[in-house]
Amino acid sequence: MSYTGPESEPPKQRRSWRVPIVVAGGALVAGGLVGWGAYAAGGGAGEDAAKPAGRSAPAAAPGADDKAAAPLAGKVVVIDPGHNVDNFRHPAEINRQVDVGNGRKECDTTGTSTNDGYPEARFTLDVAHRLRALLERQGATVRLTHDEKGPEWGPCVDERAAIGNKAHADAAISIHADGAPAGDRGFHVILPGAVHAGGADTRPIVGPSRALGERIASDFRRVTGEPPSNYIGHGTALDTRTDLGGLNLSTVPKVFIECGNMRDTKDAALLTSETWRQKAAQGMSEGIVSFLRGS
Ligand code: ZN
């Protein structure tokens, strides 16, 4: 929880401001200092739109940083860390069948782990915390479906969907890592297919969920460098499914992301790296921000 993100701009900016001050002399000193002060006061972290771009920064009007600092004000994002680190202690509860609209599924599953024993549920919670911090910095209201001090198992997949629905989330994401055979590599985003059965009706969310998923896939790939899955989605990093309760029962735009394959040693080296997990969260965050801002 001590991570602060990959910000490294302030030292670089401070250096670049000194140059015009020295070269141009007294007349520009005031402007330069005002510019730097405004940037520093704005926090200088996380607000992409607020980053000063060379000499244009001093011209920014007072208050511009404040607006840019909370581009997601009023937006609600629900993050669903896949599985639960204690699910394995509660087989009876998590094996209970729940209605997912077009069928019945287990309440929840234990998830996978790397060959060295790093559990998927630990990974998903860690990335969820990082993603929450990034989105809150953008002004979003963020809710997790469960957390370390929450329930000792689950919640069930139907409840995970219900949490996003009740929160009227503008976007929801369920974070996972896969347990495929070694050699299967890469990430993919799972989109809800059209399901209209029982208590499920995904038809209104199919379109917006795809838009959300495409943005997340694009930004996740760019920020992490992780390739699209070589075993699902034919290189598109996208897969559509109609068998996941967490998607079937959602009434808000929602996707799953499988960040990599825990059973592949190359992917496992990334998934177990704190630095990489921060990048993973950053990629997801940028995709969500892009979707919510309609850009
Ligand atoms: Zn999973």
What residues are neighbours of ligand 1 (ion), with CB under 5 Å? 82, 111, 176
Q: How far is the CA of 81 from the centre of ligand 1 (A)?
A: 9
H or E stretch at 267: helix 265-271
pTM: 0.78
pLDDT for 170 equals: 98
Q: Which candidate in 214, 226, 258, 286 is catalytic?
A: 258
Average pLDDT over residues 257-263: 98
pLDDT greater than 80 at residue 16? no
Q: With contact defined as beta carbons under 8 Å apart, do 144 and 77 qualify?
A: no
Task: Give pLDDT tens digits for 46-72.
Answer: 333 333 333 333 444 444 455 456 899
Task: Give pLDDT tens digits for 120-179.
Answer: 999 999 999 999 999 999 999 999 999 988 788 999 999 999 999 999 999 999 999 999
Task: Give pLDDT tens digits for 101-111.
Answer: 999 999 999 99
**Can you tell me the distance from the alpha carbon of 245 to that of 158, in angstroms, rounded to the nearest whole number?**
6
**Can you tell me the distance from the alpha carbon of 49 to that of 15, in angstroms, rounded to the nearest whole number?**
21
Of 109, 135, 107, the C-alpha closest to 121 is: 109
The architecture CATH gives domain 66-293: 3-Layer(aba) Sandwich (3.40)
> Active site includes 258?
yes
pLDDT greater than 50 at residue 98? yes
pLDDT for 217 equals: 98
pLDDT for 232 equals: 98
Distances (CA, A) of 245 to 31, 69, 111, 160, 200: 57, 35, 15, 9, 9
Average pLDDT over residues 5-19: 35
3-state secondary structure of 192: strand
Distances (CA, A) of 166 to 76, 78, 145, 251, 282: 11, 10, 11, 9, 26
Across all residues in the chain, what is the average pLDDT? 83
pLDDT for 45 equals: 34
Q: How far is the CA of 87 from the centre of ligand 1 (A)?
A: 12
Average pLDDT over residues 201-214: 98
Q: How far is the CA of 14 from the centre of ligand 1 (A)?
A: 44
Domain spans of the chain, in order of start = 66-293
Bigger pLDDT: 39 vs 153:
153
Q: How far is the CA of 84 from the centre of ligand 1 (A)?
A: 10
Q: How far is the CA of 110 from the centre of ligand 1 (A)?
A: 8
